[in-house]
Amino acid sequence: MPKIRLRPSFSRQLRKFTKKNNDRKEAVKEALRRFHLDPDYPSLHLEKLSGTDTWTIRIDSGNRLFFVWSDEGDTAIFFYVGSHNAYRTVK
């Protein structure tokens, strides 16, 4: 099971992303829980972004959690939450 770490900027984005939207908040919690238990869980659609060290997991059909692996490879460091299309600008 991988460890999970959240960058301070991620925590701020998460508050904004889930503000007044309890369904979104629960979806993020569930995605992180599933990732912690099994990063290869099918509904997460774990994906490495081409040409980067960035990985994503799916929250829902339009939103993703972005992360990088620690140098040791045992900790996922989440740094962005938002639209699936953010992969074009998030590195």
Residue 17 contacts residue 64 (beta carbons within 8 Å): no
pTM: 0.89
Per-residue model confidence (pLDDT) at position 73? 87
Q: What is the mean pLDDT of the chain?
A: 91
pLDDT band at 85 (very low <50, low <70, confident <90, very high): confident
Q: What is the pLDDT of residues 12-47, one digit of tens each?
A: 999 999 999 999 999 999 999 999 999 999 999 999
Q: Quick one: 36 exposed, middle or buried, by C-beta within 10 A (0-12, 13-18, 19+)? A: middle
What the block records as the tokens of 82 is 């938002």
- Would the pLDDT of 6 be above 90? yes
Helical H segments across 1-91, by residue range: 8-18, 22-37
Per-residue model confidence (pLDDT) at position 90? 63
